[in-house]
Amino acid sequence: MLSKNKIKYLRSLKLKKFRQKYNNFVVEGEKIVLEMLKSQAVEIENIICSENWAHEFEHILHPFQAQILLAKPQELAQISSLKTAPEVLIIAQQLSSADTIQAKDGLSLYLDRIQDPGNFGTILRIADWFGIKNVFCSTDSADLYNPKVIQATMGAFLRVKVCKIAFDSLKAGHPQLPVYGTVLEGENVFKTRLSENGLIVIGSEGKGIAPEIRKHITQPIAIPAHPDGGAESLNAAVATGIVCATFRNFHTQKQANV
């Protein structure tokens, strides 16, 4: 029941250049769509769903009547980026670039050339779990609005602010900020005194942290491998999770000991 042009347009949004041209993006699946409709954090352009779905969620869809487009299962399959086409997807406007966010309070992350969309999205989900509100990333990182990034966040993009910025510019605005970075020769993160404010730099999947960023690290940290271990490294998102958990636990324990 969608026009050919509409399907073509929707399919085009899989590509960054069209998402930038139209300043929007696609979110798929019931769980994340319901969360978006409730959060009101983003402007909804269209809700595309099966007739059944529209009927089942009539009460929630009520304020969005003008944006609903009904689609047949085969049309949903044509548009979807998922293996199994969902019953509902949303086209939403991209959030305005969060250029006013600050790194001075609490913990923030800086992602240096994280390229894998799954890793990028998973890291935003980690930030959301550990109450990290701001994630900065290098200008050549994955696109936040890539469908795989959005799906991997499991909705975290609604709560965590993301800002693309060169490391030098960020650092210039916060010259006193402690900068942590995971490097092979860093100090065992479990034995490091971790501050409550700071920027944690996560290096790219294949190349680690760029030399020009590395020189700004005030506290190099590392996750120790087991002596019987064989892997050369950990996945970037997994390393981020371990480091964030360790920061949060360090301060919880400190508070408990006061």
Query: Which positions touch a second copy (CB under 8 A)?
Result: 118, 122, 125-126, 128-133, 152, 154-156, 158-159, 190, 223-235, 237-242, 245-246, 248-249, 252-253
Distances (CA, A) of 211 to 153, 161, 214, 216: 29, 26, 5, 9
Q: Where are the alpha helices (DSSP H) in 50-163?
A: 51-56, 58-61, 73-79, 117-129, 147-153
Selection from 138, 145, 250 nearest residue 193 by Cα:
250
Give least dist CB 169 to a second copy, A: 26
Which lies closer to a second copy via its Cβ, residue 161 or residue 216?
Answer: 161
Give least dist CB 175 to a second copy, A: 26
Instruction: Answer yes or no: are the C-beta atoms of 14 and 78 closer than 8 Å.
Output: no
Which lies closer to a second copy via its Cβ, residue 49 or residue 123?
Answer: 123
Give least dist CB 23 to a second copy, A: 25
- For 198, phi then psi, to 5°, come to 160, 170
Give least dist CB 179 to a second copy, A: 21
Which lies closer to a second copy via its Cβ, residue 213 or residue 239?
Answer: 239
Q: How many angstroms separate the CA atoms of 71 and 64, rounded?
A: 16
Which lies closer to a second copy via its Cβ, residue 118 or residue 171?
Answer: 118
